[in-house]
Amino acid sequence: MIPAQFDYVRPTTLDEAVRALSEGGEDAKVLGGGQSLLPVLRLRLAAPTLLVDLGGIAELRGIREDGDRIAVGAMTTHHDVVHDELLHEHVGLLSDAAATVADPQVRHRGTLGGALSHADPAGDLGAVALALEAEFVLAGPGGRRTVAATEFFLDYFTTALAEDELLTEIRFPRYTGWKHHYEKFNRTAQAWSMVAVAVALKVDGGVISEARVGLTNMGTTPIRASGVEAALVGQPASEDSAKAAAAHATEGTSAPSDADAAADYREHLARVLTGRAVLTAAG
C-alpha cells in the first residue's frame, strides 16, 4: 500500500497554508486527520502532487464561544468534539454523532473539518451540520467567506470549497436545552452508516415546538428531512407523533442501492430509524 510520490508541506499558519494550496494548483490536496485521504492515496485512487498538512496550524484547533454561535476549528478531532463541554451543552447532537464515528483510533486522528470537506454521504457529521444549520467558514487567496450548510454540500464528495480554499471553522447555532439523538445503523460497529438519522427537538410542555432532522446516506449529499420536521412541530412528543412523522422520512431522498442495502431497504430503514430517533430524543 504505497502511495504515489508527492511533495509535502506542513505550514504553521493559515495564511501559509492558503498560499501553499494556491501555489500547488489543481493537484494539491489538503491533509487533515488523514482518515479518508490516506487510504485513498495508498490505494492510488488519487495521486496528488502536493499535500498541505494542516496539522501544524494551532488556530484551526479548538472549540470556542463566538457570540450566539459555537465555533469548532476545522482541525478539531472527533475525540475532542465528543468530550467538549461547550458542545455537550449547546450542540449535543454533534457530540452524539461524533461518538459513533468509526473507532477510538480514528476518532483521535480524524477531524470534523476533514470529514465535512470529504463530504462522503455515508459520513455521520454532514447530516448533523445540515440539520443544525451550521455555517462553514472558508479561507482562500481572496479572503474568507461564510457558506450556509445548505449551500456547502453539492454532490458525492463535492462541496462549495474551491480548489484553492480551506475549511477553517464550522459555526453552530446554540441548541441549549434541546433534546437530541443520532440513530445509526451499520453492518459492523466500525462500518460506515448504512443509514442514520440525526434528530434535535425543542420540547416545551410536552409539545415539540421546533425540530431539526438530517439523514445520512440517503442521497448524494446529507439530506434535511423537512417533511419530518414539519410533521413534528406542534405535535406532542409521543410515539404516535414519531410514527406519523417518520412516514415522511423518504421525501426528497434518492437512496443508493448497493450490496449492503438496496434502495427499498434503505427507505424502509430511514422510516424506522427516524421514528426511533425521534422517540429516543423526545424520551
The nearest distance, CB 118 to another protein, in angstroms, is 9
Which C-beta is closer to another protein: that of 210 or that of 267? 267
Helix axes 263-282 and 239-246, enclosed angle (nearest 10)? 150
For residue 201, what is its C-alpha cell? 427537538
Cell 430509524 found at: 273
Which C-beta is closer to another protein: that of 188 or that of 205? 188
Nearest 5°: the CA angle 246, 247, 249 is 65
For residue 30, what is its C-alpha cell? 489538503
Which C-beta is closer to another protein: that of 5 or that of 143? 5
Return d(Cα 119, Cα 114) in angstroms, integer: 9
Return d(Cα 266, Cα 21) in angstroms, integer: 38
**How many CA atoms within 13 Å lie on the side-chain side of 223?**
26
The nearest distance, CB 52 to another protein, in angstroms, is 20
Residues that bind another protein (CB under 8 A): 1-2, 4-5, 36, 39-40, 43-47, 103, 120-123, 156-157, 185, 187-192, 194, 217, 220, 256-265, 268-269, 272-273
Q: How many residues does the chain have?
A: 283
Which C-beta is closer to another protein: that of 238 or that of 265? 265
Do the beta carbons of residue 41 and residue 35 sit within 8 Å? no
Do the beta carbons of residue 34 and residue 117 sit within 8 Å? no
Return d(Cα 210, Cα 204) in angstroms, integer: 9
Which C-beta is closer to another protein: that of 207 or that of 265? 265
For residue 153, what is its C-alpha cell? 454540500
Cell 492510488 found at: 44
Which C-beta is closer to another protein: that of 80 or that of 183? 183
Phi, psi of 89 (to 5 degrees): -75, -40
The nearest distance, CB 8 to another protein, in angstroms, is 15
Which C-beta is closer to another protein: that of 71 or that of 270? 270
Neighbours of 235 (CB within 10 A): 18
The nearest distance, CB 245 to another protein, in angstroms, is 16
The nearest distance, CB 262 to another protein, in angstroms, is 5
The nearest distance, CB 44 to another protein, in angstroms, is 4
The nearest distance, CB 42 to another protein, in angstroms, is 8
